[in-house]
């Protein structure tokens, strides 16, 4: 018997998500901003985002034809990640990853089937503390601890990335862009980081093991 996703094709919903129809691909584009996450099995949708030093994880269950993407960064500019102490910065990354996985598991996805791809983590400003590298390190560490293999990645370097993820097939299109073409991405990510530091974390997230 072929496994089926939950009854609703758009599993996770957020009133703040931007949606528009792209006639070039014949799909509705769901555009993620920093801090957002979306999971769907709708064959008429794709998920898109623009990344600088932030990270997006795309996770896909091929048996169900369901997938999701998040968009996150670790706040703060100094110090390393204290994995054993679950430092404040790392908690934001953990929450972002758990949110994505929880939505997939609640929709019927199975951990052993998940294919995960990572994107982003660019060096946005040459000479600045390696925020992008820190985000990449976190993502690699988290997935290793959770026993999830990275099927593919395009991370680091000094370029922005426009990502398009087809959640029903797992296909990802990556367009690399010179940072000079996207100067506003630095301001957007800095504002997001400031907002994270001033917004206390709410309670712990329960992970649905599947």
Residue 156: pLDDT band with limits 50, 70, 90: very high
Residue 184, pLDDT score: 75
Please report whether residue 1 resides in a domain: no
Please report whether residue 60 resides in a domain: yes
- The mean pLDDT value for 107-128 works out to 88
Q: Is the dihedral of CA 8, 11, 12, 18 positive or negative?
A: negative
Domain hosting residue 142, numbered range: 18-198
| Strand pairing category for 115-120 and 150-155 | parallel
Digit-coded pLDDT (tens) for 43-96 = 999 999 999 999 999 999 999 999 999 998 875 444 444 433 334 555 678 889
Model confidence, pTM: 0.80
Please report whether residue 146 resides in a domain: yes
CATH number of the domain where residue 192 is located: 3.30.1330.200
CA–CA distance, 112 with 191 (Å, rounded to integer): 37
Please report whether residue 2 resides in a domain: no
Residue 8 has pLDDT above 50, yes or no: no
Please report whether residue 61 resides in a domain: yes
Number of structural domains the chain divides into = 1
């Amino acid at each position: 018997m072929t496994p089926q996703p939950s009854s609703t094709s758009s599993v996770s919903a957020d009133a703040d998500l931007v949606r528009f129809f792209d006639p070039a691909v014949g799909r509705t584009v769901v555009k993620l901003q920093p801090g957002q996450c979306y999971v769907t099995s709708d064959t008429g949708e794709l998920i898109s985002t623009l990344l600088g030093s932030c990270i997006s994880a795309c996770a896909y269950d091929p048996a169900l034809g369901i997938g999701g993407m998040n968009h996150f960064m670790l706040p703060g500019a100094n110090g390393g990640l204290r994995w054993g102490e679950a430092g404040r910065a790392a908690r934001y990354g953990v929450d972002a990853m758990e949110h994505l996985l929880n939505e997939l598991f609640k929709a019927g996805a199975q951990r052993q089937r998940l294919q995960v791809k990572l994107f982003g983590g660019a060096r946005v400003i040459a000479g600045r503390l390696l925020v992008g590298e820190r985000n990449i390190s976190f993502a690699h560490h988290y997935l290793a601890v959770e026993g999830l293999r990275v099927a593919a990645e395009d991370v680091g370097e000094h370029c922005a990335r426009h990502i398009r993820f087809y959640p029903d097939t797992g296909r990802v299109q990556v367009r690399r862009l010179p940072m000079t073409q996207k100067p506003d991405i630095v301001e957007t990510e800095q504002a997001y980081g400031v907002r994270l530091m001033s917004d206390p974390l709410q309670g712990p997230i329960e992970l649905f093991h599947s």
